Amino acid sequence: MPEAGGIMAQQARIGIYGLGTMGSALALNMAELGIPVAVANREADWLPAFMNEAGDLAAQLQPHETLEAFVGGLALPRVILFMIPSDAPMDAMIEAVLPLLAPGDTIIDGGNADFHATRRRSADLAARDIHFVGMGISGGEAGARHGPSMMVGGSAHSWIQLEPILTAIAARHEGDPCVAHLGPDGAGHFVKTVHNGIEYADMQVIAEIYGLMRYGLVRSPVEIGARFERWNEGPLRSYLVEITGKALGYVDPVTGHPAVDVIKDAAGQKGTGRWTVIEAVALGQSASMIDAAVAARSWSSEKSTRVAAEAVLGGDRSLLDLDDDALERAFLAARIICHAQGFRILKAASEEYDWALDLARIAEIWRAGCIIRSALLDDIGAALRDNLPGGQLILAPAMAAELGRCIPALRWVVAAAVAGGHAAPALGAAIAWFDTMRQGRGTTDIIQAQRDFFGHHGYARLGMAGVHHGPWWD
């Protein structure tokens, strides 16, 4: 295959290495907008098929069989987007490409990376005057092809190179591109991790509401799908509700049964939900709904244990007396709470790592393109823009009013689920966190007493400064 990118060809503005699902969709997105893109792949024999599939867009794509030719085909300073696994392959790729780069060049990791690795790579490469950008990209294949939401970390220098390209390819919410430079080093990947944590919680809430309708109200998948589709026209409007509605309507072509009924109930997970929980805890935060969602996926994968336990412990679930309006409001309350938890983690990380994250902008770039896009994010963006004291979403007047309307339903739904033997871990976590946070005086006075009793840990006393002890000891 002829090499492109030589002196005759227009130098590519960006190179994409890694032509898997996301990498090839991003390359086609850029090509469609007239951006010359150099492309390469570890297995060079993928290139002809990719170029063929590109059709007319191939004119903007410059395939290279070797890393040297790929790097050589890029305009200076170079910008290279790696769409490869973000762990060991990313480190190996950095080692391989580094000798070919010049000071001022930018390497981007567009995968779901652990932000600690991104911070380490940024620092290592900064010492060689190479810029490293951790960029979260959300929206799956369709988003990458037609408009993703992108959460960009890294230096101001890299952002100057990237902004025109990313602004062109991003999803748009009422004309506003869903991309932003959020902060240095790991900021972009951290924000993407929390996005995924919220995604896990929202998906789990949907699964719980589906389960209550399926087993508590004894509705068919098609009926439940129709309900989700109706909800998608109201305050629950979101990509995840939309695809849930559609998925529930599908029939398995092999058996003729509803498609969901032939899917093993064991959820996969690649790690971003778990990372969100780990980082939340490390930051002294709670992400109890995300934790519940991660746990529910882990428990789900213990299929054989659950089957054995059903035989020993009984798997009965009662019929429920719940109406759709209560389920809708419970869902909305839980969705507000999982976003509130997610934004608290972002705020804590911003303070810890000195990122100065613009929380309102983050909500705004999640309004289109990404997996958690929803009508609620529009309201959250507005609430955060409104100079919210302490950045606590539950205190924003609009959110507090919506919670006031929806919490009684969440309480009722969780109570009914628990009484009827239906597992609802994320909904339960939501109401527990809400009830904890709305009480000015809680119950940890006794925990402080216990700690002091057995360990002389001391406690703060109301109305008196200093650390206090006793009176437990003789």
- Of the pair 74, 370, the CB lying nearest ligand 6PG is at 370
CB atoms closer than 10 angstroms to residue 448: 15
* CA nearest to 426, candidates 297, 301, 324: 297
Q: Which amino acid is at 205?
A: V
187 binds ligand 6PG (CB under 6 A): no
Provide the minimum distance between the beta carbon of 378 and ligand 6PG in the complex, in angstroms, as a whole number. Answer: 18
Alpha helices in 10-46 (DSSP H): 21-32
Provide the minimum distance between the beta carbon of 152 and ligand 6PG in the complex, in angstroms, as a whole number. Answer: 14
Residue indicated by tokens 């993928």: 46
Q: Is the peptide bond before 63 cis (omega within 30 degrees of 0)?
A: no
Record the tokens describing residue 311, joined without a space. Answer: 């035989």
207 binds ligand 6PG (CB under 6 A): no
Q: Which of 199, 208, 364, 402 is catalytic?
A: 199
- Compose the 354-383 pattern: x for residues touching ligand 6PG by CB under 6 A, - for all others: ----------------xx------------
SS3 63: strand
Region near ligand 6PG per CB under 6 A, out of 134-142, 226-234, 321-329, 433-441: 134-142
**Which is it for the CA torsion 44, 48, 49, 51, positive or negative?**
positive
In this chain, which of 103, 175, 270, 441 binds ligand 6PG, going by CB under 6 A?
Answer: 270
Provide the minimum distance between the beta carbon of 140 and ligand 6PG in the complex, in angstroms, as a whole number. Answer: 5
Provide the minimum distance between the beta carbon of 425 and ligand 6PG in the complex, in angstroms, as a whole number. Answer: 17
SS3 92: helix
Footprint on residues 412-441 left by ligand 6PG (CB under 6 A): none
* Catalytic (active site) residue 199: yes
**Which is it for the CA torsion 7, 10, 16, 21, positive or negative?**
negative
> Which residues are paired to 238 by β-bridges?
374
- Compose the 93-112 pattern: x for residues touching ligand 6PG by CB under 6 A, - for all others: -------------------x
Q: What angle do CA 64, 70, 76 make, to 5 degrees?
A: 145
**Alpha carbons 160 and 166: distance in angstroms, whole number:** 11
Q: Which of 43, 174, 192, 223 is catalytic?
A: 192
Q: In this structure, are residues 76 and 102 in contact, taking their beta carbons and an 8 Å threshold?
A: yes
In this chain, which of 269, 298, 392, 448 binds ligand 6PG, going by CB under 6 A?
Answer: 269
384: Cβ contacts below 8 Å, ≥ 6 apart: 343, 359, 360, 363, 391, 393, 396
In this chain, which of 86, 118, 138, 238 binds ligand 6PG, going by CB under 6 A?
Answer: 138
Provide the minimum distance between the beta carbon of 268 and ligand 6PG in the complex, in angstroms, as a whole number. Answer: 5
Q: What is the largest CA-CA distance in the chain?
A: 91
* Catalytic (active site) residue 223: no
Provide the minimum distance between the beta carbon of 171 and ligand 6PG in the complex, in angstroms, as a whole number. Answer: 12
272 binds ligand 6PG (CB under 6 A): yes
Residue numbers at the binding site for ligand 6PG (CB under 6 A): 112, 138-140, 196, 199, 268-270, 272-273, 370-371
The residues annotated as belonging to the active site are 192, 199
